[in-house]
Chain A
Amino acid sequence: MKKLIVLAGLTLAASVAATAFAQESYPSRPITIVAPFPPGGVADLTARPVAAAMEKALKNPVGVVNKTGAAGAVGMQFVATSKPDGYTLLLALSSISIIPEADKLFGRPPAFTVDQFAPIALISADPTILVVPADKPWKTAADFIEDAKKRPGQISYSSSGVYGTLHMAMELLSHAAGVKLRHVPYAGAGPALTAILGGHVDALASGPAVVLPHIKAGKLRALAGWGDKRVAALPDVPTFKELGYPDAEFYIWAGVFAPRGTPEPVLAKLREALRASVNDGDFKAAMDKLETPVVFKQGDEFTKFFEADARRLAEGVRKVGKIETK
């Protein structure tokens, strides 16, 4: 009997040691970054260079898996319920804080909550910019807002989908400026851009990279940006903050998250790897080509940014409320 106890004790000790060893040697097997959107989207295009750079930093394979569906909810839910061991990470966009809030609004069981994630690091944050077709009369954001006040509900805009990022950006502006615009949702940012290029809507809030060629070609005109600072590629375009609408602040950002409960040493290692990654030459070149500015924040700084953003978006969703159709 004694022998058995000793044996059991030894086994236990051995297994504890094995666990400790496993933690020490993290990572010891391939890491998966889940991009909750299809290939070619912002999440995917950010995740791939991040994964490549992390692979170098950790000297361990890092792969990207696109787990898509329900505007990102499927992939986010998948990571939220994954084992918190540092081998399944999430590359999320701003919508991570919108989805649970929208679920709340409709009183349905949330697919996941923000609390189920441990923020690791912010990779990029791109302010949206307001564009209108070049043949429209508005030359400045002031013209636009003034006209919108005169004709409530007459000026239309396209978005990537109801409660999507581009919808939220426009709603934040509407509330900040006290105007009412007409919302025409599309199924994704691509169709929303096609709609404004075809002249079917009057305005669009968009990430700068995809509209820049059309601004340069004289098809679209940029009126203002939602950022804290002006967009580098468009130095003449003011921010809403400068124009006196500080609440109209919005970024399409990308950050890396782990499931809540991931051990601190693992998180520390991941933070360190991500810091090394954003300084990697190939990574910088990749982000340059996408014309997406790298904005790196981690630890408390990221948590603060994330919480402020989540608060703004939650308020945005609540202000929009349930959409009643006629």
Chain B
Amino acid sequence: MTETLSNLALGFSIALSPPILFYAFLGCFVGTLVGVLPGVGPLAGISLLLPATFGLDATRAIVMLAGIYYGAMYGGSTTSILMRIPGEAASVMTCIDGYAMARKGRAGAALTIAAVGSYLAGSASVVGLMLLAPPLALFALRFGPPEYFALLMLGLLVLAYMSSGSMLKSLAMATLGLLLGMIGIDQMTGYFRYAYGVVELGDGIGVVPVAVGLFGLAEILATAGLATPPQVVKPKLRELLPTRQEWRESAWPIGRGTVLGFLIGIVPGSAHIIASFVSYAVERKLSKRPEEFGQGAVAGVAGPESANNSATSGAFVPMLALGVPSGPIPAVMLAAMMVHGVAPGPLLIKQQPELFWGFIASMYVGNVVLLILNLPLVGLFVNVLRVPYPILYPSIIAFCILGVYAVNGSVVDVWIMLLMGVLGYLLRKLGFETAPIVLGVVLAPMIEMALRQSLAMSDGQYSIFVSRPIAGTLLLVGLILIILGLKPLVTRGLDWRARLALAEKGQEQP
């Protein structure tokens, strides 16, 4: 423990030195911008800015890139709440209740809760990263394809809890999403599926164009179709802060989101998206008033936003402790280290203590920077809602196109987004929810890959899913969840019988 503290002291002496502080601030600032721009998420942001860090030394470069990563996670909630446009894929869930809150005039509260939740989750998970990195990293590595498959099946079960309307409709949308996710190169054989000669479709349908189209664009189209334009919500200064009630309702979701996000985050893969979905489902399940979800429940903002931020720290666990490229973003950051001649590997902590502890300390600093940066911005961002719709909406569409194009430099992605916008509009008119489509698109390629890799590992034996302890346990949890999911059918029956019994009793007592 004393060793950790002295190491941390070393880290802070590095993190608080003016140049490092400057790059941490710069990273956070750029990250916030990246997050605010629709569609452009941390991966695109880091990729675009990686070359700019080649001239810096390793610690500065890593600190700045990490700042972009978690800065984008903070910033991603802003457009989700204000305009229902996911700033990046992990903010999809924030769109639902965050935007509903904004419509009720609680945009400031939602933004503040998102920022504070992100701050608490970010800071708490750095503590986890610092104290638990080596043992947790070894555990994370045990997640191979079968374990990942089991985890994703759990994610799929989450779908069942996502809709506030008809279960049939939401499952239909999930199926549509899963089918869309099938487009692209078959990873196991190299066949092109449903690509129709468009090379770009080989990579499949990206989450970003789908999410931006279905949420943002569809919202704009739907609003434009209203007979009477919606009232411009003029936020008042005293309404910017959450009420005591809202704070109370956020506390537990933030705590649970932090733990959940961190644990899911350490699993190799694109886990931060799943973390936010799972957190939303958990909060809804635990809520005393689940019917409020989708109508502006503050827990639906607090949970997922905390989860996606602590998942970022979780993702650094295998990367820093073992030098493992555990996801697309850690892979880019490892490349950045290699460019600077730092060989990422299990010996990094010993060989480069300045880099490791400087990085850890800079994450504490970065989270404070982001909180300071974001809270005053709440007041500024909320003013966007004052802009009259004839000006606001065309500019939002322009930013959506720009953002989606910037991710891959692909015009095909822009077309996908526009088509999804139209589809989203039609589905809304017909009373379907679109969030399950996004989850389907995210999960389909991952589940398929994990399933087929597992079967390739076992030479076609399905027993691999139950013979490995982690996979078996996760699937068992899934089974229990299904059984619990069936419980309401039974208990509702009991309620009904109980009520009948009461009624009969009532008749007996004149």
Contacts and interface: CB of A to CB of B under 8 A. Distances in A.
B343 A40 contact: no
A70 interface: yes
Contact of A39 (B51, B142, B145, B347): B51
A260 interface: no
Interface string B199-225: 110110000000000000000000000
B408 A45 contact: no
Contacts of B335: 39-41, 44-45
A185 interface: yes
Contacts of B199: 69-70, 73-74, 77, 111
18 contacts: A39-B47, A39-B48, A45-B335, A48-B54, A68-B408, A74-B199, A74-B200, A156-B456, A190-B325, A191-B325, A194-B268, A197-B322, A197-B324, A198-B268, A200-B145, A214-B345, A214-B346, A288-B341
B255 interface: no
A40 B332 contact: yes
Interface in A194-227: 194-195, 197-201, 209-210, 212-214, 216-217, 219
Contacts of B185: 70-71
A194 B141 contact: yes
B190 A163 contact: yes
B323 interface: yes
A323 interface: yes
B332 A39 contact: yes
B308 interface: no
B323 A214 contact: yes
B140 to A, nearest CB: 8
A325 B188 contact: yes
B339 A217 contact: no
A230 interface: no
Nearest to B343: A213
A186 interface: yes
B346 A219 contact: yes
Interface in A227-242: none
A255 interface: no
A326 B461 CA distance: 11
Contacts of A71: 185, 202
Interface residues of B, number: 56
A258 B202 CA distance: 24
A102 B457 CA distance: 24
A290 interface: yes
Contact of A182 (B345, B348, B459): B459
A201 B338 CA distance: 25
Contacts of A286: 339
A162 B50 contact: no
Contact of A64 (B46, B51, B410): B51
A2 interface: no
Nearest to A193: B325
Given A70-B200, A191-B325, A45 B457 contact: no
A213 B334 CA distance: 12
Interface string A131-172: 000000000000000000000010010000111000000000
Contact of B189 (A38, A39, A197, A322): A322
Contact of B331 (A102, A153, A190, A325): A190
- Residue from the set B54, B145, B460 with the largest chain A CB neighbour count within 10 Å: B145
A29 interface: no
A123 B195 CA distance: 34
A281 interface: no
A214 B338 CA distance: 14
Contacts of A187: 187, 449
A184 B54 CA distance: 34
Interface in A9-43: 38-41
Interface of B: 46-48, 50-51, 54, 141-145, 185, 187-192, 197, 199-200, 202-203, 268, 318, 322-326, 328, 331-332, 334-336, 338-341, 343-348, 408-410, 449, 452-453, 456-457, 459-460
- Residue from the set A40, A69, A197, A290 with the largest chain B CB neighbour count within 10 Å: A40
A67 B200 CA distance: 11
B268 A191 contact: yes
The 7 closest A-B pairs by CB, nearest first: A213-B345, A40-B335, A70-B202, A190-B325, A200-B144, A289-B341, A198-B141
- Residue from the set A41, A68, A183, A286 with the largest chain B CB neighbour count within 10 Å: A68
A79 to B, nearest CB: 13
A3 to B, nearest CB: 48
A66 interface: yes
Contacts of B144: 195, 198-200
Given A161-B187, A213-B345, A289 B322 contact: no
Contacts of B348: 213
A188 interface: yes
A226 B296 CA distance: 60
- Residue from the set B51, B341, B348, B459 with the largest chain A CB neighbour count within 10 Å: B51
Contacts of A244: none
Contact of B339 (A68, A109, A290): A290
Contact of A194 (B47, B188, B325, B332): B325
A323 B343 contact: no
Given A69-B202, A185-B188, 7 more contacts: A73-B202, A162-B190, A191-B268, A212-B345, A213-B347, A214-B345, A219-B346
Contacts of B187: 161-162, 185, 187
Contacts of B457: 156, 182, 184, 200-201
A153 B460 CA distance: 12
Contacts of B189: 162, 322-325
A209 B197 CA distance: 36
Given A40-B331, A69-B200, A186 B453 contact: yes
Nearest to A200: B144
B192 A108 contact: yes
Interface string A68-107: 1111011001000000000000000000000000100010
B408 A323 contact: no
Contacts of B459: 153, 182
Contacts of A201: 457
- Residue from the set B197, B335, B344 with the largest chain A CB neighbour count within 10 Å: B335
Contacts of B268: 191, 194, 198
Nearest to B138: A198
Contacts of A48: 51, 54
Contact of A40 (B47, B143, B191, B346): B47
